[in-house]
Structure 1
Amino acid sequence: MQAQLTALLPALRRFAWSLTQSVHDADDLLQATVERLLSKGVPENVDLSRWAFTVCRNLWIDEYRARKIRKTVDVDPEVFESGQVDGEREVHGKLQLNQVMTAMKNLPEDQHAVLSMVAIQGLSYKDVAAELEIPVGTVMSRLSRARCKLAELLAAG
């Protein structure tokens, strides 16, 4: 399990970041997820990957509810640093990223989770459906609504 969990850490960290939209909160969420997995274990006949993403999502929901205010999550663009680029282009890209992430904060949680898993994690609809334990049609519907709402928010803002 330890080797599988180690291999899963980068994907879990990206998923945690997609939920929190903060490097520091994502690291805390990742640590809490790994701690929970190691202390509570994984149920029999359950894929570690699916269980880890479920635990991560549920821990974030608990944290989100405890905070009561989603606006306190800050964006830290250091995750996106990729080397040398044109300064103007980099600033423009960061501004666009901030606009998208601000708009994503206004999406309902179910739409936000599906959009993050598909767009950021690159999971297939089938994998997202399995992860969230919902039908594939529901994933497609939530994703469609999330994309429409995101486009609407970006056009308005």
Structure 2
Amino acid sequence: MKRRLLDGIEREIPHLRRYARALTRDPDDADDLVQDTLERAIARLDQFQPGTDLRSWMFTIMHNLFIDGCRRARRRGENVPIEEWMSDASAEPGQLDAVAVREVLDRIADLSPHERQVLERVAIDGLKYEEAAAELGVAVGTVKSRLFRARENLKKLGAAA
């Protein structure tokens, strides 16, 4: 049983890499996230429920690790040398774009886990509704309704910001 699970985990690595790259937008961070996910999954094989979807279980582990990392980074803040901070008070257009991207990512992080997963699969990974439904182990209608709610909640969060 354990050998079959380990073989299944190994087959999921390419899918995990793709999802990690979509989450992190950085190849090195994505590799670290995949490594952490594999480590956590192997350490907790006894918690996997036979008969459930291994890929969904591993994606959930990865997603939770990613969110935990985002929360840690947000608490820690960003270290900026004082010289750099004081050197130029005016913002370049590229800096404004980076701020806008950060705000969108923060809003996405505020979505429910189900909404965020569907949004990532469809809007970021470019999966079709059917593919996202199969990957998440839910019905196509569920994917559509979660995506609608995610987009509506993003609009609300944007209006409140």
Q: Where on the TM-score scale, by shorter chain, does this alignment land: which range?
A: 0.5 to 0.7
Shift of 1:128: 0.9
SS for the counterpart of 1:153 is helix
Matched, 1:154 2:158: yes
Matched, 1:111 2:107: no
Q: Which of the residues 93, 99, 118 maps onto 2:97?
A: 93
Report the identity percentage: 30
CA RMSD of aligned residues (A): 4.1
C-alpha separation between the residues in 1 aligned to 2:143 and 2:60? 16
Q: Which runs of 5+ in 2 are unaligned?
A: 1-6, 46-52, 79-90
C-alpha separation between the residues in 1 aligned to 2:138 and 2:150? 16
Q: Which runs of 5+ in 1 are unaligned?
A: 41-49, 77-86
C-alpha separation between the residues in 2 aligned to 1:7 and 1:27? 11
C-alpha separation between the residues in 2 aligned to 1:154 and 1:59? 27
Q: Which residue of 2 aligns with 1:123?
A: 127
Q: 1:54-93 maps to which residues of 2 (within 5 A)?
A: 54-61=57-64, 71-74=71-74, 88-93=92-97
Bigger relative contact order, structure 1 or 2 (CA pairs below 8 A, ≥6 apart): 1
TM-score (norm 2): 0.61
Computing the radius of gyration from Cα coordinates, the structure with the larger value is 2
TM-score (norm 1): 0.63
Residues 14 and 121, structure 1, Cα contact 8 Å, conserved in 2: no
What amino acid sits opposite 1:125 in the alignment? Y
C-alpha separation between the residues in 2 aligned to 1:117 and 1:55? 15
Shift of 1:154: 1.1
SS for the counterpart of 2:133 is helix
